[in-house]
Amino acid sequence: MFGSFIKKSRAKSPWIMHFDCGSCNGCDIEVLACLTPLYDVERFGVINVGNPKHADVLLVTGTVNHRNKKVLKNIYDQMPEPKAVIAIGACGNTGGVFKDCYNVVGGIDKVIPVDVYVPGCPAKPEAIIDGVVAGLGKFAQKVEDAD
Amino acid sequence: MDTLILVIIGLVAGPLLGGLIAGLDRRVTAWFQSRQGPPIMQAFYDVAKLFGKEKMVVNQWQILCAWVYMIAAAVSVALFFAQGDLLLIFFVQAIGAVFLVMGAMAGKSPYSHVGAQRELMQILAYEPVLILVFVGIYMVTGSFSIEAIWAQDMPLLAKMPLLYLALGYALTIKLRKSPFDFSTSHHGHQELVKGVLTEYSGPYLALVEIAHWYETILVLGLCALFWHTNVAWMAVLLVVTYMLEILVDNTMARMTWRWMLKRVWLIGMGMSVVNLIWLYAG
Amino acid sequence: MSNLLLLLILLPAAAALVCYFVRSSAVRTLTVVATGAILTAASLGLLGQGTFEPIAVGSFLGISSDFLVTVLDFALLAVIFFYGIKHKSLLIQVFTLAQAALLVWFEVVMLKHEAVPALMGDQLSLIMVLVISIIGSLICIFAIPYMKEHEEHLHLKKSRQPQFFFFLVLFLGAMNGLVLSNNILWMYFFFEVTTLCSFMLIGHDATEIATKNSVRALWMNSMGGLAFVLGMVLVYMKTGTLDVSAILAAGPQGALMVTGVGFICLAGFTKAAQVPFQSWLLGAMVAPTPVSALLHSSTMVKAGVFVVLRFAPAYVGTFLSTGVALCGAFTFVACAALCIGQSNGKKILAYSTVSNLGLIICCAGINTPLALTAAVMLIVFHAISKSLLFLCVGTIEQAIGSRDIEDMRGLYAKFPRTATITIIGILTMLLPPFGVLLGKWMAIEAGASTNVVVITMLALGSALTVVYWARWGGSLMATREEGAPAEKQAALIRLPLTVLCLGAVVLSVAAPWFYNSLLAPWVGAAPFTMSLGSLNSATGSFAVVPLFIALGLGLLFAIKAASGFRKAKIAPPYLAGANAEEDGTYIGPMNGPVPFVANNMYLGELFAEGKLTPIFNLLAIALIVLMLGGAL
């Protein structure tokens, strides 16, 4: 009984951590906009924690370059299971317009496993919220599969 | 036997009530900020989710300290419901506070360490004020025991108004509300990441959160004692106090430990001493 | 029983002589261990026989013991005067000469030489004998391997251990004599012996700073001796007797007599290093650790508070009592504040000791049954915990080569046993349900009935203590690598540490029974009733045993949860994702590793020793003048 309450709670209390992997900050501004009273993601229980150890969902923007891929991996490893990763924006998904540059890795899924891709340049807050909700669904699925 | 029943009520109802208050707190804060806010049960969802996370620690001292913090907070609430000695209740609660600080210093995390030092400053600020509040209660009722308060005809608030205001300082610090939330805060992203709580995660963070609920109940219970004669007025007092706390939280910025020490020691202790002089003279 | 008393006072003197003259370390070890065991057994035996009325001590080899004490007294003053000349200290010379002159005048002109039963054994004496004999013996045993290592470290060619152990063991006998004295002249004599022992032991290492600090200790304690003689004379002028129990039974007898008692209390203040005299104790920290543990935390300084406490019935209800409480409370908060600015481990322990002694003196000044109970509780439990902590710091210092708490950070990684014992020691000083907190709780509840000034100082002091203990305890905790080499510790070091650690915990559990059997009869109007292992009274109750059970079970559960920690995922600390290989290091500017550095907040702008000490000294002198003047 307590176990099912825990399962239910996972979807109701997704704590996010937001990390910028070389983004132009366009997507980052939209992510932070989600936290403002206009979009108010806290009604879904979302809190922006700055600490991977407290986070369930990692929101990543930017193309990832050879310097911050180590940091990204480190932060991902410091998140306790179960966790989900959401790549935001065209750069995060595939590298966007910068895909063939020499200094970019080209997409977050080249470094860590990604659960949800949110397209856009920048992605709209509504799309980001959609992505988080979809991510929660996958979250629950992952936990079911793991049990 | 009655005592045992009260203790069990305290131990079980304490965290439940504390969680509800935490949820209501976030709801009212959201209202202040013109948004909707999470459901009232959100605190329980948070803690349940945390219990379901993978266990991840830096070393075993963190596990030990998180458990001892929660157990000490629970025991202090149990003692409170058992109508025990206020000074003893405070010292038992201090066990938890000390272990929280020590657990934060156990790993090699700069954020944790600075958070722990700031937490010690917070303890330094509120402890003398709380002790003087208990001395004030002793002066009025003749005893440090909670039982003696029920025998009073007049509410304590009538004889100890300034001490209640000083208690408000201690309440603000204990609830981790701005301007005294520099050690760790419910608002995200402070300059120390999460300060004292940075390295706690998963189930151990859940334990810390439950301990925080117990402490909230303890301090609110202490405020409730100030109007013990009438349940309705007690409720009004608690609601007004808590709303003021939320208002202060939303309108004030986070300050520094120096500012806090100066304020709480000069104004808080000053008010307490003046009130005590009234009580000693009378 | 008189055999036991003889044993407790004279055996250490004999053992000391053996230690000095027989220059074999094996014989010395055997002597010290045997003396320790016999003293422990004798003190327990004395306790078992119960309290006794003042008894007379007969003559030795035909010479009356009173005469012997007088002769030795003057010999002692001569020795101290000699050292005053040797170290060119005018203060020592003046104080000693003044004492000698006053003493001569007193003994020849004033004193009607009546027979006074010289030794008494009420509950306070028996408790003090236990503390001295058991804790003292453990510390002397600890000193054996410690001094061996100490001298190896200093590359001494000729061992100075004979004179070290001479004074260390002799001191135990002097302390026993002091607490068992019923004749005020005998009390003064033993008081001065402890002064001499302290002086010799502080200056043991014979370095420039050790000599300087030992001279400072000597002049301050000589001043205390002068105050003692002056007080003794004033008291005799009114009461006409040297019999301590008679003086106590009579109670306060007019301004002159109470002022005399005030001067005796002043002697106690200097011995207990109260503000403004705390600098001698701080300076005494240069001595080897067993000296600090034995003399300057658990025993000799307790002689100072013992004197104030012993004479409490003689000034109950007078202004002197309020004055003593104010001075004590002021020392409590002042030294707690000074402690915050310290990072030297021994200085932290020293300031904390002075602070707690101030609390005990404050309780003696409050002079209610509750306060007196608190005072004795604090004496006993503080002695155990503080000596444990000093021995820990000594062990740590020999292990890592430093006594700064910043260097002790993360000690658990290399020295788990010592670190754990130190953490337990710190917790017994700070938290309920342990004895020191029980005493502090009683003290605050007693202080609430006095006046606003005292209780505010107690509240502030209590808050300050949390800061300096918690940060030290926390900094010792660390991650220990799997398969790290086990900690090596000499058996004679491990024994005292373990015994004291267990003793602190077990005795705290037994505190209600200790109170019921020994303290309740001593204070007369017992402040608490004991039921179900709790101490209850109308003003408040402390559920000792229930708390121990609840918190103990909780702790066991927490330990069990923590011991499985290797099954949890071990993660490095959060360092913004830039963690390097080594724990706590991160990749910083220019891709270089930045090691982990942390420091405690010492709040130098508010609590620096240099800034606060002059202010506190001035305020304390003012309070002492107030206390003595008000008594008149």
Residues 37-96 of chain C whose Cβ lies under 8 A from any Cβ of chain B: none
Residues 6+ apart with CB under 8 A from C162: C19, C20, C21, C23, C28
Indicate the residue of B48, B54, B194 with minimum beta-carbon distance to A54: B194
Contact state of A75 with C571 under an 8 Å Cβ cutoff: no
pLDDT level of residue C488 (50, 70, 90 thresholds): confident
User: Is the CATH number of domain A13-138 1.10.10.10?
Assistant: no
By the 8 A CB rule, do C570 and B106 touch? no
Question: Per-domain residue ranges for chain B?
Answer: 2-281
Chain C residue numbers touching B64 (CB-CB < 8 A): 558-559, 561-562
Contact state of C579 with A51 under an 8 Å Cβ cutoff: no
Query: pLDDT exceeding 70 applies to what percent of chain B?
Result: 99
pLDDT per residue as tens digits for the range C269-324: 999 999 899 999 999 988 888 988 888 777 888 899 999 999 999 998 888 999 99
- State yes or no: pLDDT of C119 exceeds 70: yes
pLDDT level of residue B189 (50, 70, 90 thresholds): low
pLDDT per residue as tens digits for the range C397-446: 988 988 898 888 889 988 999 999 999 999 999 998 999 999 999 999 99
Long-range contacts of B149-158 (CB under 8 A, 24+ apart): B149/B225, B149/B228, B150/B228, B152/B228, B152/B229, B153/B229, B154/B229, B155/B226, B155/B227, B155/B228, B155/B229, B155/B230, B155/B233, B156/B225, B156/B226, B156/B227, B156/B228, B157/B226, B157/B227, B157/B237
Chain centroid, CA C299 distance in Å: 5
Residues 23-82 of chain B whose Cβ lies under 8 A from any Cβ of chain C: 54-61, 63-64, 67-68, 71-72, 75, 78-79
Indicate the residue of B45, B54, B189 with minimum beta-carbon distance to A13: B45
Residues 6+ apart with CB under 8 A from B66: B103, B200, B204, B205, B207, B208
Task: Name the residue in chain B with its Cα closest to that of C567.
Answer: B55
d(CA C65, CA C70): 9
Neighbours of A7 (CB within 10 A): 17
Half-sphere exposure of C97 (CA within 13 A, CB side): 9
- Distance (Å) from the alpha carbon of A102 to chain C's nearest alpha carbon: 21
Interface residues of A toward C, Cβ cutoff 8 Å, are 51-53, 70-72, 74-75, 77-78, 80
By the 8 A CB rule, do A128 and A3 touch? no
C462 interfaces chain B, CB cutoff of 8 Å: yes
- State yes or no: pLDDT of B31 exceeds 70: yes
C524-543 burial, b at 16+ Cβ within 10 Å, e below that, comes to: eebbbebeebbbbbebbbbb
Chain C residue numbers touching A51 (CB-CB < 8 A): 574
Chain A residue numbers touching C569 (CB-CB < 8 A): 80
SS3 C399: helix
**What does the pLDDT read at residue B188?**
67
Interface residues of A toward B, Cβ cutoff 8 Å, are 2, 5-10, 12-13, 15, 37, 40, 42-45, 47-51, 53-54, 56, 78, 80-82, 143
Contact state of B87 with C444 under an 8 Å Cβ cutoff: yes
Question: Per-domain residue ranges for chain A?
Answer: 13-138
Q: Give the mean model confidence (pLDDT) for residues C166-174.
A: 91
Bridge partners (DSSP) of residue A84 are A57
Task: Name the residue in chain B with its Cα closest to that of C431.
Answer: B95
d(CA B278, CA B163): 11
- State yes or no: pLDDT of C99 exceeds 80: yes
Chains contacting A (3 or more CB pairs within 8 Å): B, C
Q: What is the DSSP letter of C406?
A: T
d(CA B65, CA B103): 5
**Residuewise pLDDT in 10s, chain A (147 residues):** 778 888 888 888 889 999 999 899 999 999 989 888 888 888 888 888 888 999 999 999 999 999 889 999 999 999 988 888 999 999 999 988 998 899 898 889 999 999 999 999 999 999 999 998 888 888 777 777 766
Q: What is this structure's pTM?
A: 0.93
Residues 6+ apart with CB under 8 A from A50: A17, B188, B189, B190, B193, B194
d(CA B65, CA C412): 15
Bridge partners (DSSP) of residue A60 are A19, A87
Residues 6+ apart with CB under 8 A from C233: C102, C106, C110, C260
d(CA B245, CA B218): 16
pLDDT per residue as tens digits for the range C570-584: 888 888 888 888 788
Average pLDDT over chain A, rounded to an integer = 88
d(CA A119, CA A16): 18
**What does the pLDDT read at residue A146?**
65
Residues 138-177 of chain B whose Cβ lies under 8 A from any Cβ of chain C: 138-139, 142-145
The full length of chain B comes to: 282
* The pair of three-digit structure tokens given for residue C390, joined into one six-digit string: 């000093």
pLDDT level of residue B19 (50, 70, 90 thresholds): very high
d(CA B125, CA B119): 10
By the 8 A CB rule, do B213 and B141 touch? no
Question: How far apart, in Å, are the Cα atoms of C372 and each of C160, C263, C320, C524, C527?
Answer: 41, 20, 16, 11, 10
Assembly ipTM: 0.94
DSSP symbols for C100-157: HHHHHHIIIII--------EEE-HHHHHHHHIIIIIHHHHHHHHHHHHHHHHHHHT-S
Q: Give the mean model confidence (pLDDT) for residues C331-356.
A: 92
Indicate the residue of A6, A37, A80 with minimum beta-carbon distance to B35: A37
* The pair of three-digit structure tokens given for residue C81, joined into one six-digit string: 């005067």
Indicate the residue of C410, C456, C572 with minimum beta-carbon distance to B132: C456
**What does the pLDDT read at residue B9?**
93
C467 interfaces chain B, CB cutoff of 8 Å: yes
By the 8 A CB rule, do A107 and A93 touch? yes
Contact state of B94 with C561 under an 8 Å Cβ cutoff: no
Half-sphere exposure of C312 (CA within 13 A, CB side): 25
d(CA C246, CA B95): 45
Task: Name the residue in chain A with its Cα closest to that of B45.
Answer: A9
pLDDT per residue as tens digits for the range C202-229: 999 888 999 999 999 999 999 999 999 9
